[in-house]
């Protein structure tokens, strides 16, 4: 037998996901590449590792035995690599971060420099909706979370990274009767909402409630990216974070609709549970951010001041 660590890794990921497609996504490989690695791995065994039933892949009993062995081998390999780094005096381990969906435009810039400094680190960043982000933090599944609204149900500490500005955004208004900056203008526009539980939706609804407006909700969508595409298609208008629409504003595909009281502003915050016991990696990352966050904002978000 001459199987590789890469094949073991691919097979173990298939055992975890029970799906070629999902394994490919999590490994950042193409589906054909994963299928080829699985075939090459299977060819080294006379007993089947998997079987396909109703177009779904399942591990055989023998396949599960091999998957458990693969997990042990991969764990030991990871431990060996960590020991090598430790002997070199380098930081090693895993950093885990959960990020609300719009935070994908923010968080990578606050991670890249740290990861370049410590090549032995493994980063796990989950980009998901706000409810899942808070749940991950509550279950102690992650070191940090990136949010724009503090959770009320958790006792957390925070580090503010940069402002989060929210404007009314859409395609250019042609009706001159709608060019007033009165908040009542929102009653005349078809509005696109984020889903319940979204921080962006919460901020938008607070503004509408505070001004006692009766508005038309045309659509409800589950990500800011989906909202942006709907705006580009001319389906309506929405209160959106500035951070996700840079290119569309600079190319005039979308415009900010001036409304008195906007932009609304919160902060992009890195938060962690008050009782969290930091690993050396998490502690080093927090120290890095405290020392470098202003430089990162100046270097990567200078355009932010234009709006």
> Is 282 found in the same domain as 229?
no
User: What are the φ and ψ backbone dihedral angles of 222, each rounded to 5 degrees?
Assistant: -100, 10
Which helix (H) or strand (E) segment holds residue 5: the answer is helix 5-17
Asked whether the beta carbons of 261 and 78 are under 8 A apart, the reply is no
Domain that residue 58 falls in: 5-87
> Is 154 found in the same domain as 285?
yes
| Residue 176 clears pLDDT 60, i.e. is over it | no
pLDDT at 228 (0 to 100): 95
DSSP string across 80-138: HHHHHHHHTT---EEEEEEEEGGGGGTHHHHHHHHHHH-TTEEEEEEEE-HHHHHHHHH
pLDDT band at 142 (very low <50, low <70, confident <90, very high): very high
Q: Which residues contact 302 (CB under 8 A, 6 or more apart)?
A: none
CATH number of the CATH domain containing 209: 3.40.190.10
The two tokens of residue 93 are 């381990």
For the stretch 258-270, pLDDT in tens is 999 999 999 999 9
**Of 105, 101, 103, 81, which is closest to residue 93 (Cα–Cα)?**
81
**Taking all residues of the chain, what is their mean pLDDT, rounded to a whole number?**
90
pLDDT at 83 (0 to 100): 67
pLDDT at 27 (0 to 100): 86
> Is 30 found in the same domain as 18?
yes
Last residue of a domain, one of 36, 69, 87: 87
For the stretch 112-137, pLDDT in tens is 999 999 877 889 999 999 999 999 99
> Is 150 found in the same domain as 37?
no
* R_g of the chain, CA atoms, integer Å: 24
CA distance 166 to 250: 16
> Is 281 found in the same domain as 202?
no
pLDDT at 86 (0 to 100): 61
> Is 105 found in the same domain as 187?
no
pLDDT at 174 (0 to 100): 61
> Is 25 found in the same domain as 104?
no
> Is 299 found in the same domain as 218?
no
pLDDT at 88 (0 to 100): 62
> 0.75 exceeded by the pTM?
no
pLDDT at 120 (0 to 100): 77
> Is 173 found in the same domain as 158?
no
| Residue 91 clears pLDDT 90, i.e. is over it | no
Question: In percent, how much of the chain has pLDDT > 90?
Answer: 72
Cβ burial of 9 (10 Å; 0-12, 13-18, 19+) is middle
The two tokens of residue 286 are 């927090």
Asked whether the beta carbons of 267 and 221 are under 8 A apart, the reply is no
Q: How many domains in the chain?
A: 3
């Amino acid at each position: 037998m001459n199987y590789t660590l890469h094949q073991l890794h691919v097979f173990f990921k298939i055992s975890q996901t029970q799906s070629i497609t999902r394994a490919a996504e999590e490994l950042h490989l193409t589906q054909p590449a994963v299928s080829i690695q699985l075939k090459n791995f299977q060819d080294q065994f006379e007993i089947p590792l998997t079987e396909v039933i109703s177009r779904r892949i399942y591990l055989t009993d023998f396949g599960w035995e091999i998957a458990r062995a693969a997990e042990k081998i991969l764990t030991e390999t990871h431990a060996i690599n960590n020991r090598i780094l430790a002997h070199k005096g380098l930081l090693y381990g895993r950093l885990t971060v959960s990020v609300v969906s719009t935070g994908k435009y923010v968080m990578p810039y606050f991670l890249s420099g740290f990861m370049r400094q410590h090549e032995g680190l493994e980063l796990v960043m989950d980009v998901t909706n706000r409810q899942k982000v808070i749940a991950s933090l509550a279950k102690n599944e992650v070191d940090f979370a990136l949010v724009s609204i503090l959770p009320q149900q958790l006792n957390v500490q925070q580090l503010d990274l940069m402002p989060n500005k929210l404007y009314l955004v859409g395609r250019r208004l042609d009706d001159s009767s709608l060019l007033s900056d009165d908040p009542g203008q929102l009653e005349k526009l078809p509005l696109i909402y984020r889903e319940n539980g979204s921080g962006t939706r919460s901020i938008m609804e607070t503004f509408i409630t505070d001004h006692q407006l009766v508005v038309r909700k045309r659509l409800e969508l589950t990500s800011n990216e989906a909202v942006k595409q709907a705006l580009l298609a001319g389906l309506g208008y929405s209160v959106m974070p500035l951070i996700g629409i840079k290119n569309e504003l600079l190319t005039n595909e979308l415009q900010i609709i001036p409304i008195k009281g906007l932009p609304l502003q919160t902060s992009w915050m890195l938060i962690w549970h008050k009782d969290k016991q930091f690993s050396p990696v998490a502690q080093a990352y927090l120290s890095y951010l405290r020392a470098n966050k202003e430089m990162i904002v100046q270097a990567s978000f200078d355009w932010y001041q234009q709006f």
